[in-house]
Structure 1
Amino acid sequence: MTKLSVNINKIATLRNSRGGDVPNVVEFAKDVQRFGAQGITIHPRPDERHIKYQDAYDLKSVVNTEYNIEGNPIPKFIDLVLDIRPTQVTLVPDAEDAITSNAGWDTIKHKDFLIDVIKEFKSNGIRTSIFVDPNLHQIEGAKETGTDRVELYTEAYAHHYKLGNKEGINPYMECAGLANALQLGVNAGHDLSLDNIRYFKENIPGLLEVSIGHALVAESLYLGVENVIQMYLHRLK
């Protein structure tokens, strides 16, 4: 079964919009795990516009499934991850002014940098994943960095699926197949939803984990968090 990791950034965004501590991100993380989610994902950014660095520390003691911290490996982020030592760190090449993640790594251009960062994380017992576009050359480049996994950037898939173009999954199938052959684990995330997750899961070989936040929280406004978690788990079987 593909694991569901719930990205709770959107809960932090809602909290920060009002100040105070409602909704509480730690309690939300406890609840979604209790409802069956197999992981918690956070993506702290330098401006702390949603998840704050303190949240990362507060969550450490309550995440009893898999703890995945995403982000651009600037020095402050590297220090945070090495201090917390989550289950997994996902490296994302975010520009500081990006609204959300909008591109994967150029694993060929940034090979030497990624090698150094990944080596440090792995030497501290932290599983590593690289956020990549569905491009075979980038998968090959990822293998050269020493990463454990790649996370396929699924915005293009979601866009094509919404338009009724199911062939939009083809590059993802090819990349997942190559990753499997290279003994790289395969994760996926961005714009995955209840509408498109089943087809993606059914067609991606060896899919280990999906990280879903924005859609899951939006769907929960209508259907309830516990119910939505169960719906995702059912589609990921």
Structure 2
Amino acid sequence: MTTVAVLADPPRDGLVLSALAEETPLTQSEATDLYAAMLRDSCRAVEASGGELLVNYRAEEDISDEYEGSQESEAQVRAAVRPALENPDEARFEVQVGSTFAGRVGNTVTHLLEQEGVNTAAAVDPTGPFLARQVIDNAAMKLRRHEVVLGPADAGRVYYAGFANPIDFTDAYEPPAVRTLTERGDDAGLSVDFLPMQPVVETASDLATVLSQLQARERAGRWVPAHTAEFFAESGLDVAASDEGLTLVRN
């Protein structure tokens, strides 16, 4: 069983998905709601899988004062995640430790492998909305044969990183993260394998890609992340073609 840590920021305006409010028709509040929806879907996917869910929330003291919330970070993340879980009282919540994303991933994964003795540990960022239960279970199967399993996204990013042994996590997510993490695994003498590529949501282009794929899945009657799909249905966002490529519009 793989322990899967979902590295969650408290859903606060400006702290999460701030680029979307600048580059798309979404307001900052709507971008925050989208982040919360993807966080719920990510946690539910892990809970439904054969893995163990660990919600790894951002420490309040590591968040700039300009993003101060009405609740403490842990309480806000718990409140955001709870509606998505079948057994919310059984979910494990722990604070992140580290000054960078790579450091926080490294501290969590290394602690799980070396201090808690889990067989495999993984880290996911909740901005990958198509992280389904089957993807997590597929990764767990791969981790039986390989010590590092990565889920690549476009622009060299990753939506999933799983480990049977620790690596040197210092700046391990330096772009392109998929190559850097692979190099660190290879440097440690570890076997590396990959999951199918999936999109993540950080930019306007990412958002257009995810929305078009979600619309296609819905039309074909295939699985979609429920909370993310509900957000898009209520947002009125649509994708249109232009000379520059895909453009987001509001119906």
Fold shared per TM-score above 0.5: no
What TM-score range do you get, normalising by the shorter chain? 0.3 to 0.5
Normalised by the length of structure 2, the TM-score is 0.35
